[in-house]
């Protein structure tokens, strides 16, 4: 089968991507970047009333970043022939990813039970807002709704400032990553059993899982997480401080970092101050400690403090704007932004995978496909001739 050849790691796999918006494409992007043959299956133009939300600006950075390394097949699953084409694709596929509302796949006859009857090795990954069953299963789920229901907005922002959303799609991206992990686990298990399985992940469960220590502290110690702005809820000194020319972050949690901080600042007296004798006491007396640190930090520039603290082994870093992020020498060294040429002579700068496999690394071989760019190619692979494809185009099947 033709491959985009982003990496050899998953080049033996074929993935049928029915997903839209962010969580699903985030999941499938991981598989595509590691070489899976991903076929993005999209309705022909004019079929989906929400198509502008997920496919209109195909040249935009967001769409390109989410959908690079994929092929595109247009297919109208609302037609009997469109469903028949999809079932033929399932015969030789390894993974199907969808993020419809839970009842849609049943209405289309594409449930895991139906798919596994065609191909017992198939893995179906279903992504939803609230889960595949339960009282909220039928609800639509967007990231901000889930940030609110999963607790993130209750702990984000400054005390008394009211709920605040995080500045990125935490639930969407996290769910996509968890779903990809689930797919890889199911593929690994299939090597022993020979069977696929149905895996599902939800934005709600993911968001609560990402609350991590905040949720665990509440469940086990009864500690109610609250908004603490740029301070850390359980560690001090840790947070945002203003230097003479701007802000920087300091992370001096733990006794070792605390001692190194006092030593490099020449504040031996703080080590003897009973208010700061332990982490818990430093949290309790955070206001006084932060003010003492603020007086010192206002004396010099950010660059001075970041170097001094890091040289002493105390975590510290500047607060970057987006241009500054990509100008940073370590970011450039890591190859975070990767240039990818388009077929029309254009060029995109996309975000590389943040996990490195030394022998079979991920890659970005091609930008996102044009709408239905590979329809003829994919259908030819499963036995359809040119005349068949032309007829299906005229009938609105593809």
Q: Token pair for residue 100?
A: 């419809």
**Annotated catalytic residue 172:** yes
DSSP 111-135: SHHHHHHH-TT-EEEEEESS-SSST
What is the rounded distance in angstroms from the CA atom of residue 393 to the CA atom of residue 398? 5
What is the rounded distance in angstroms from the CA atom of residue 145 to the CA atom of residue 154? 12
Of the listed 103, 172, 223, 344, which one is catalytic?
A: 172
Selection from 80, 11, 69 nearest residue 40 by Cα:
69
What is the rounded distance in angstroms from the CA atom of residue 79 to the CA atom of residue 85? 10
Q: What are phi and psi of 248, to 5 degrees?
A: -150, 160
Sequence-ordered alpha helix ranges (H) in the chain? 23-33, 51-55, 61-67, 80-91, 102-108, 112-118, 143-149, 152-155, 170-193, 203-210, 213-221, 254-265, 268-272, 279-284, 286-297, 302-311, 322-327, 329-334, 375-381, 386-394
3-class DSSP assignment, residue 348: strand
Residues 6+ apart with CB under 8 A from 370: 58, 72
Helix, strand, coil percentages, rounded to 5, for the chain? 45, 15, 40
What is the rounded distance in angstroms from the CA atom of residue 40 to the CA atom of residue 215? 36
CB 158 within 8 A of CB 227: yes
CA 202 to chain centre: 13
CB 90 within 8 A of CB 196: no
Count of residues in the chain: 398
**Catalytic residue numbers?**
172
């Amino acid at each position: 089968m033709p491959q985009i050849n982003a990496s050899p790691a998953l080049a033996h796999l074929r993935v049928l991507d029915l997903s839209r918006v962010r969580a699903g494409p985030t999941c499938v992007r991981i598989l595509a970047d590691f070489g899976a043959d991903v076929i993005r299956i999209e309705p022909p133009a004019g079929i989906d009333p929400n198509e502008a939300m997920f496919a209109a600006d195909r040249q935009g950075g967001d769409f390109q970043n989410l959908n690079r390394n994929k092929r595109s097949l247009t297919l109208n699953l609302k037609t009997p022939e469109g469903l028949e084409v999809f079932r033929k694709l399932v015969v030789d596929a390894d993974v199907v990813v969808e993020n419809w509302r839970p009842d849609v796949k049943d209405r289309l006859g594409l449930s895991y039970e139906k798919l596994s009857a065609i191909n017992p090795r198939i893995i179906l990954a279903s992504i939803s807002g609230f889960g595949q069953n339960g009282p909220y299963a039928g609800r639509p789920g967007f990231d901000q709704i889930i940030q609110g229901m999963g607790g993130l907005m209750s702990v984000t922002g400054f005390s008394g400032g009211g709920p605040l959303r995080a500045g990125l799609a935490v639930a969407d991206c996290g769910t996509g990553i968890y779903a990809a992990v689930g797919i890889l686990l199911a593929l690994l298990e299939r090597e022993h059993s020979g069977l696929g399985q149905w895996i599902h992940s939800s934005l709600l469960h993911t968001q609560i899982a990402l609350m991590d220590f905040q949720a665990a502290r509440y469940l086990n110690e009864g500690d109610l997480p609250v908004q603490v702005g740029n301070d850390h809820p359980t560690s001090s000194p840790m947070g945002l401080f203003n230097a003479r020319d701007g802000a920087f972050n300091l992370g001096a949690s733990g006794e070792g970092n605390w001692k190194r901080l006092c030593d490099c600042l020449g504040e031996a007296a703080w080590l003897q101050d009973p208010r700061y004798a332990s982490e818990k006491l430093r949290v309790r007396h955070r206001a006084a400690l932060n003010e003492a640190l603020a007086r010192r930090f206002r004396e010099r520039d950010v660059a001075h403090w970041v170097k001094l603290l890091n040289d002493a082994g105390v975590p510290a870093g500047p607060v970057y704007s987006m241009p500054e992020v990509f100008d940073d020498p370590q970011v450039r060294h890591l190859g975070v932004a990767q240039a990818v040429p388009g077929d029309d002579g254009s060029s995109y700068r996309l975000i590389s995978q943040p996990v490195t496999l030394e022998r079979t690394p991920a890659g970005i071989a091609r930008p996102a496909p044009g709408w239905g760019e590979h329809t003829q190619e994919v259908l030819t692979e499963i036995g359809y001739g040119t005349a068949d494809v032309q007829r299906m185009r005229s009938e609105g099947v593809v």
